[in-house]
Amino acid sequence: MIKRAYNFNAGPSAMPLEVLQEAQAEFLNYANTGMSIIEMSHRSPEYDTLHKETKDLLRELMEIPEDYEILFIQGGGSTQFLMTAANFFNKERAAYINTGVWSKKAMAEAKRYGEAYEAASSADRNHCYIPQEFTFKPETAYVHITSNNTIYGTEYPDFPKFDVPVICDMSSDILSRKVNVADFDLIYAGAQKNLGPAGVVIVIAKKAFLATANEDLPTMLKYSTFTENDSLYNTPPVFCIYMVNKTLHWIKRQGGVEVVAKNNAEKAQVIYDVIDNSNGFFIGHADKEYRSKMNITFNLADKDLEKDFVAKAKAAGFIGVGGHRLVGGCRASTYNAVPMEACQALAEFMKAYQAEHSK
């Protein structure tokens, strides 16, 4: 047996063991070609099959309507911050819902293109909730939201209806729960939290919305370059897409998104239960109704113990339990590939730690 860590990293993060093993087994000889997937042309029939299958699987698992494109783009979620703005800032203003660091970064990029304003913000309570009221201004091109806030551990329990096109950053919860793709005009997600290695971003966009994009842009910043060339204008991140393909197959084998979502809810609850039953020893950051099932953020009531807790957790084999460098505290990321067993082990560790440290 290979020794695998209890991996609670926020991103890059745990991948399904089966996926890693499959990749390992075929790394030297992919599909009887006598070469690795990373050694072959992205114009080869073998790659073409993989490329198409990956899109088909994603369409099937997320029930993506036919009038939506699926694109593979490089540059991470951070490049989508500017790319969405560059393409769709075609009115005077664009609205951003500020639910934390990532949405703020997205808004900062949009400010280059016009008046990017906050239609709502959770900054007043250190982003421990999702705002439910929004103030829109006239001439708003789109609204940008972040479905799951990786750093603060909040998620939209359900998505509000907006009167303007909706762009959603799903980098840290894509395929972790069921979403109605038709509620969004453009979804983007970096692969490295729930789907594969860093290096590819999945973009799912409504064709009619893509048709409104600004065309006066550098080639690699235009969505049309990707739609017109099936994401093969230049060399796509072949290995990343290959790993995403394997992860999608894995999700399908689990029973699809609904089963994965149910597992995720149960996994997160195991840890939230320890927080809630700790008599205030552990304090959850997010308001209960907005708790993320991907990133569980908490503090210790005794701040002086936090460093010790993270260090002891690490020594006990729990990796990635320290909070984000900007906010501190503790965070356990329980993405799709983190097994229930790891969550139960962390829950037991937390209980034992509390027993040892409360007099």
Ligand X SMILES: *Cc1c(COP(=O)(O)O)cnc(C)c1O
Provide, rounded to whole angstroms, the least separation between the CB of residue 175 and ligand X. Answer: 14
Rounded to 5 degrees, what angle do the CA atoms 267, 273, 278 make? Answer: 145
Residue number, 197 or 282, with CB nearest to ligand X: 197
Provide, rounded to whole angstroms, the least separation between the CB of residue 294 and ligand X. Answer: 9
Provide, rounded to whole angstroms, the least separation between the CB of residue 148 and ligand X. Answer: 6
Annotated active-site residue in 55, 193, 206, 267: 193
Provide, rounded to whole angstroms, the least separation between the CB of residue 188 and ligand X. Answer: 9
Q: Phi/psi at 69 (nearest 5 deg)?
A: -90, 150
Closest-CB residue for ligand X?
Answer: 76
The SS3 of residue 47 is helix
DSSP per residue, 194-218: TTSSTT-EEEEEEHHHHTTS---S-
Length of the chain: 359
Distance (Å, rounded) from C-alpha 40 to C-alpha 31?
11
Provide, rounded to whole angstroms, the least separation between the CB of residue 34 and ligand X. Answer: 33
* Residue 169 appears among annotated catalytic residues: yes
Using left for φ > 0, alpha for ψ between -120 and 50, and beta otherwise, residue 264 falls in alpha
Q: Are 153 and 172 in contact (CB under 8 A)?
A: no
* Residue 302 appears among annotated catalytic residues: no
Residue number, 150 or 263, with CB nearest to ligand X: 150
Q: Are 89 and 114 in contact (CB under 8 A)?
A: yes
Residue number, 190 or 323, with CB nearest to ligand X: 190
Residue number, 140 or 172, with CB nearest to ligand X: 172
Alpha helices in 175-315 (DSSP H): 207-210, 223-228, 238-254, 257-276, 306-315
Instruction: Tell me the CA distances in angstroms from 323 to 152, 153, 298, 309, 310, one per residue in order.
Output: 9, 10, 8, 12, 9
Distance (Å, rounded) from C-alpha 317 to C-alpha 331?
15
Provide, rounded to whole angstroms, the least separation between the CB of residue 212 and ligand X. Answer: 23
Residue number, 96 or 353, with CB nearest to ligand X: 96
Instruction: Tell me the CA distances in angstroms from 246 to 72, 143, 170, 185, 271, one per residue in order.
Output: 15, 33, 20, 27, 28
Annotated active-site residue in 55, 169, 222, 250: 169
Distance (Å, rounded) from C-alpha 186 to C-alpha 68?
9
Annotated active-site residue in 55, 102, 222, 293: 102
Provide, rounded to whole angstroms, the least separation between the CB of residue 182 and ligand X. Answer: 21
Residue number, 11 or 196, with CB nearest to ligand X: 11
Closest CA to 169 of 233, 103, 107: 103
Rg of the chain over Cα atoms, rounded to whole angstroms, equals: 21
The SS3 of residue 154 is strand
Binding site for ligand X (CB under 6 A): 11, 76-78, 102, 146, 150, 169, 171-172, 190, 193
Residue number, 238 or 350, with CB nearest to ligand X: 238
* Residue 312 appears among annotated catalytic residues: no
Residue given tokens 């594969």 in the structure block: 196
Residues designated as active site: 102, 169, 193
